[in-house]
Structure 1
Amino acid sequence: MAELLQALLLDIPEVLETKRLTLRAVGTGHGAESNAAMAESFEQLKPWMPWAKQMQSPEQSEANARETRAKWLAREALDFAWFRKDDGLLVGRGGLHTIEWDIPKFEIGYWVRTSCARQGYATEGTQALVDFARDVLGARRLEIGSDARNMPSRRVAEKCGFTLEGILRQARRDNAGQLADACVYAKTF
């Protein structure tokens, strides 16, 4: 409880900068842009993202953005919308989830829109989250979980210096309802 109180009192920056990206705390008004990126990328996200069982409406995406903002304020999750600096396009989203402030430990989750894939944005944004969690939030442990078949996500974890701690056999159901193996990557400080 004391750790949560301390977390609630933290002045957490709502904007992070990388060479090519501006990461902004998700909130009111981000729903339409997120929805457009999801619509473009839905078929590629559907096999891997638990939330991608069916495409959201623009209203659902805006409600999600507002719920995400509430979780930010409660320090339950710290999600960012990733915008490309040169043209302002929403490249994807990612943030810190499954937070345990008493360690402190965070799980990093991310996705990138299809037209921006394979350009290093996922690695660049994830590295910004690693640096933010370590340098600003005092993280001692970071985790990235993925379906074992999701090789692009696994490559991002490896490029950011995470170690594969294990592959959990039949530990999750994919969106098709099939049992799938899950990878757990970690980085400690």
Structure 2
Amino acid sequence: MAFQDPDGQAARPPRRRRRWPWIVGGIVAFFVVVGIIGAATDSGKKDDDAKPAPAGTVAAPSESAAASKPAPEVKPSAAVKPKPKAKPVAKVVLSESGSGVKSTAKFHVDGDWDLKYSYDCADFGMAGNFIVKEGGNPLGELYLNELGKGKSDVTHLHDGGTRFLEVNSTCSWKIDVIDVP
């Protein structure tokens, strides 16, 4: 049986208002307000609150961390200090001396290396030439080309690998190749 209005037409049943959009909107508004209040409280903290704890002490966990899980008990005597890593040590991988022309033995350097050198032309009686270049390649890298009565110095190089050197000098000389970690 259908409802009819006085004109004889079928009447629509009364329309119910939907409540769920209002409920969902209220919940969303609640969380937005809580988020705004929480953000305002966090930004209002002073810088003094963020200072690191002095060495040897254990910092207290924040309130939210304390609520989620208990903090483990740490005794000062049980604290373990990490061992400092040993610094890699530079090592001499080649040491040669002589006068005149000489090819060195092969040596290996991992990356950076130093070429420490000295030459002395006192026996020659005048200024002499001291040349050190990459061995085995006529167009190889020229590491040193000095002209003088003598000198001691270090050249820093950055191309590791296995190599040998060719030394050419009219003077007496000494070279050390140092693998720098």
TM-score above 0.5, yes or no = no
- Select the structure with the greater relative contact order (CA < 8 A; seq sep ≥ 6): 2
Q: Which has the higher helix share?
A: 1
TM-score normalised over the length of structure 2: 0.22
